[in-house]
């Protein structure tokens, strides 16, 4: 089951990455380990056990204290500036792109590495300063450690230049949109790798029969606390259901909000509900926010949210909305041929043990286009770009049913154009794009869209 194992480990990695303390803490720990090494070498040189190279700085204890104190003061000042710039970037992201985009900035590795570099240098310098002391052979000055501190300071100058350029690039709207689309594409690829759930020899009742039994006599399990369903641990659920010789039905997918006391699962036979309920906490994760892991819809929602903000009367940024439509089309092209969500999971004997709700292609297309279409009334440029995007997706979609789904979106855009676009020439432009989309699905004049695979 490598696919879903990847998704679960990816969720854990995402939880670790989405904060501003893990990377700085790890880099600082590495700096402290480095100090332990350099301090040991300095002690050995002080005791006459070895000779330091000629490139190592030398000087008195007072000069060393002054140098290190200057470095520490400068570094802590720059740390404050870096944190201030980071907070400004987060504030800008929240107001311009939406509060749900903050996680994309917080998880940025460049920002985390920059903070880590400065905090690590400051800690290293302070510890080196404290290490200066008197000894049996005169003042102990950790010359190698001071040299390393100076090298780290010079590196930090380059890091500062990188950080300023990185922030200036990262807050550009096209870069933000492309970054969200890239993350979404990676999750689509991870989902496509899938796993062997539901494949191979099958035994026992069908999923339709099991759903009927669950509806008629299945026992309910209610969620203990409110929050977004973030991850379903399919392997854990499969083991739980197999151990109980039961079937677990999950009517919700990652991304849905569960209210405390709401039915989150059904179990059949009902006698197994006690065991399953005791262990179900190991099979899912809920939290205060949505994540992209196992929740492809959230990636589309982020792109749609930016487009809706751009189309609002307060912003009126048509080109940003068109950029979002372009990347939405790219992501839908990735799933148009391979998106086959597996609803059932079987045990080693072939019996169905888990039935889980999955977003289908139709629902993803609706989430990607409908809100933008509703917000673009009277905007032919956005309508034309949506139709061009649909044409690209249809061109790469061999499935007739999915082509019909895409064509329905084109028809709704055409209807919105005829209803809301005042200028006849603009309506004609939209109609030409619509006819081009229709020709891809219905080559014959007046023909109907294919409705079979």
> Does 197 reside within a domain?
no
| Residue 201: predicted pLDDT | 57
Establish if 449 belongs to a structural domain: no
Counted domains in the chain: 3
Which domain-ending residue is among 259, 287, 315? 287
Task: Indicate whether 152 and 216 sit together in one domain.
Answer: no
Note whether 323 and 431 are same-domain residues: yes
Tokens of residue 250, six digits: 């999950």
| Domain boundaries, position 11 | 2-171
How far apart are the C-alpha atoms of 43 and 39, rounded to whole Å? Answer: 6
pLDDT value of position 449: 53
Residue 257 shares a structural domain with residue 296: no
Model confidence over 244-273: pLDDT tens digits? 889 999 988 888 999 988 888 999 999 998
Which of these, 70, 134, 99, lies nearest to 288 by C-alpha position?
99
Longest dimension (CA), the chain: 100
Distance CA 83, CA 95 (A): 18
Residue 261 shares a structural domain with residue 304: no
Quick check: 427 and 380 in contact, CB under 8 A?
A: yes
Q: Dump the DSSP string for 267-286.
A: EESGGGHHHHHHHGGGGEEE
- 269 with 405, same domain: the answer is no
Task: Write down the pLDDT at residue 254.
Answer: 87
**For position 147, what pLDDT does the model report?**
95
pLDDT at residue 451, rounded to an integer: 46
Which residues in 141-298 belong to E strands, given as ranges?
Answer: 219-222, 227-232, 247-250, 257-258, 263-268, 284-287
pLDDT at 128: 96
Q: Mean pLDDT for each consecutive 10-residue tract of the chain (453 residues)?
A: 44 67 92 96 92 90 94 92 83 74 78 92 96 88 95 95 90 88 84 52 80 89 87 84 90 89 90 86 78 86 93 89 95 83 82 85 92 94 96 92 94 95 95 95 62 43
* 232: three-class secondary structure by DSSP: strand
Assess contact for 315 and 95: CB atoms under 8 A: no
Closest CA to 404 of 440, 431, 368: 440
* Domain contains 192: no
Indicate if 234 and 273 belong to the same structural domain: yes
**Rounded CA gap, 142 and 67, in Å?**
12
Q: Which two tokens stand for residue 431?
A: 């109609």
Report the distance separating Cα 444 and Cα 450, nearest Å: 11
295-352 pLDDT per residue, tens: 889 999 999 999 999 999 888 889 999 999 999 999 999 888 777 777 888 888 888 9
Neighbour tally for 383: CB within 10 Å: 28
- Nearest CA among 289, 331, 253 for reference residue 99: 289
Give domain status of residue 450, yes or no. no
Pairing assessment for the beta strands 284-287 and 227-232 based on DSSP bridges: antiparallel
Three-state SS for 346?
strand
Residue 128 lies in a domain: yes
- Of 124, 151, 171, the domain-final residue: 171
User: 329 and 216, same structural domain?
Assistant: no
The residue count for the chain: 453
Closest CA to 219 of 276, 260, 258, 257: 276
Averaged pLDDT of the chain: 86
pLDDT at 295: 86
**Contact in structure between 109 and 23 (CB atoms under 8 Å):** yes
Rg (CA), the chain: 29
CATH of the domain at 281: 3.90.1170.30
Please name the residues in contact with 293: beta carbons below 8 A apart, sequence gap of 6 or more: 7, 10, 11, 14, 187, 230, 231, 254
For residues 365 and 405, is the Cβ–Cβ distance under 8 A?
A: yes
Do both 105 and 254 map to the same domain? no
Closest CA to 197 of 376, 4, 37: 4
Report pLDDT for 223.
87
Residue finishing a domain among 249, 269, 287: 287
């Amino acid at each position: 089951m490598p696919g879903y194992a990847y998704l679960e480990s990816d969720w854990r990695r995402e939880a670790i990455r989405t904060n501003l303390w893990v990377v700085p803490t790890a880099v600082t720990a590495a700096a402290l380990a480095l100090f332990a090494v350099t301090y040991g070498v300095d002690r050995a040189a002080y005791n006459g056990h070895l000779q330091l190279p000629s490139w190592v700085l030398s000087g008195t204890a007072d000069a060393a204290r002054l140098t290190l104190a200057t470095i520490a003061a400068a570094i802590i000042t720059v740390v404050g500036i870096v944190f201030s710039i980071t907070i400004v970037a987060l504030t800008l992201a929240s107001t311009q792109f939406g509060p749900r985009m903050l996680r994309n900035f917080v998880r940025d590795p460049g920002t985390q590495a920059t903070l880590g570099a400065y905090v690590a240098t400051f800690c290293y310098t302070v510890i080196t300063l404290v290490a200066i002391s008197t000894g049996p052979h005169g003042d102990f000055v950790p010359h190698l450690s001071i040299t390393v501190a100076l090298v780290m300071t010079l590196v930090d100058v380059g890091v500062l230049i990188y950080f300023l350029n990185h922030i200036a690039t990262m807050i550009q709207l096209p870069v933000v949109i492309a970054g969200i689309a890239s993350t979404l594409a990676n999750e689509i690829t991870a989902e496509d790798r899938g796993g062997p759930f539901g494949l191979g020899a099958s035994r026992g009742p069908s999923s339709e029969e099991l759903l009927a039994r669950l509806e008629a006599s299945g026992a309910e399990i209610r969620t203990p606390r409110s929050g977004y369903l973030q991850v379903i641990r399919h392997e854990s659920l499969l083991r739980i259901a197999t151990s109980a010789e039961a079937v677990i039905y999950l009517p919700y997918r990652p991304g849905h909000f569960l209210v405390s006391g709401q039915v989150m699962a059904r179990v059949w036979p009902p006698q197994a509900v006690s065991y399953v309920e005791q262990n179900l906490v190991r099979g899912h994760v809920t939290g205060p926010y949505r994540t992209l892991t196992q929740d492809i819809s959230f990636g589309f929602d982020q792109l749609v949210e930016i487009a809706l903000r751009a189309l609002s009367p307060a912003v009126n940024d048509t080109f940003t909305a068109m950029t979002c439509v372009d990347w939405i089309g790219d992501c839908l092209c990735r799933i148009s041929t391979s998106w086959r969500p597996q609803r059932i999971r079987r045990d080693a004997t072939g019996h169905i043990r888990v039935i889980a709700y999955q977003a289908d292609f139709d629902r993803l297309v609706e989430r990607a286009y409908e809100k933008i279409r509703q917000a673009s009334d009277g905007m032919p440029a956005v309508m034309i770009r949506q139709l061009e995007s649909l044409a690209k997706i249809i061109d790469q979609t061999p499935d007739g049913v999915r082509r019909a789904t895409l064509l329905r979106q084109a028809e709704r855009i055409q209807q919105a154009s005829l209803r809301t676009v005042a200028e006849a020439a603009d309506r004609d432009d939209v109609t030409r794009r619509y006819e081009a989309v229709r020709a891809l699905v219905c080559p014959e004049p007046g023909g109907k869209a294919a409705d079979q695979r």
